[in-house]
Amino acid sequence: MILRLNMRHAIPQIGIRSRQSTVDDSHMVPAQLHTNNQQARSNKGITQSRIDIDSYPSRQAYGFKKMGDFARENAQRGISDVQSGTSRHTQQAWSVIENGAKRGNYVQQQAEQKIYSDAKRTRTLEAQHIPKPEITAEPAQVVGEPDLGDVTVQIDAQHYASIKITPGSAETYIQNEGFFRQWVSQDKYDIYA
């Protein structure tokens, strides 16, 4: 049974409602308009959120190791296993040469002794702590300073101008809140959740 870490996320969405300004009533003599317009800028931005997951310690506890770690742990063991295997096979060959011609079935006796010795050997289980994956999260941040701009307007108009204006508006709202979920499933990834 292998536990699998499943993750699902959605990115937050921001919606904007806006309404243009309208002139409802205008009774005026044409005016002379002089403007100096430097538009304001928000200069705001959002940094990306970041999530780092280091699952190597837990994978290593299950035996899924990097090739470098695996090679370091098993290099010396491989050499000693080859040497002991060569020595054991040489001793068995000399034993068969010296005892093979004697009465009885020497090869069968040796095989039975090996089976009995393997069966008597005590088997042990080792309980080991499986560390959790290390998760580091860096949330998104709003950065930047607004530029208020400069709008200078000079109007030369008659004193009896009558204008009714409905100002425009803009509203921002969170359309969908983002989420990040994680859960554990057994033996397979849960791709439909």
pLDDT in tens, 73-85: 777 888 888 888 8
The pTM assigned to this predicted structure is 0.31
Per-residue pLDDT, 43: 85
Higher-pLDDT residue of 189 and 3 is 3
Per-residue pLDDT, 193: 57
Per-residue pLDDT, 163: 78
Per-residue pLDDT, 28: 62
The pLDDT of residue 174 is above 70: yes
Query: If residue 19 lies in a helix (H) or strand (E), which one and from where to where?
Result: strand 13-19
95-106 pLDDT, tens per residue?
A: 777 776 677 777
Categorize the per-residue pLDDT at 171 as very low, low, confident or very high, splitting at 50, 70 and 90. very high
Looking at residues 41-57, what average pLDDT do you find?
87
Angle CA(75)–CA(78)–CA(84) in degrees, nearest 5? 145
Q: Taking a C-beta distance cutoff of 8 angstroms, is the pair 7, 191 a contact?
A: no
- Residue ranges of domains in the chain: 66-132
The pLDDT of residue 27 is above 80: no
Whole-number Cα distances in Å, 11 to 40, 43, 141, 178, 181: 28, 22, 14, 5, 12
Helix (H, G, I), strand (E, B) or coil at 10: strand
The pLDDT of residue 192 is above 80: no
Whole-number Cα distances in Å, 189 to 4, 7, 56, 79, 183: 6, 10, 18, 39, 10
The pLDDT of residue 128 is above 80: no
d(C-alpha 161, C-alpha 149), whole Å? 28
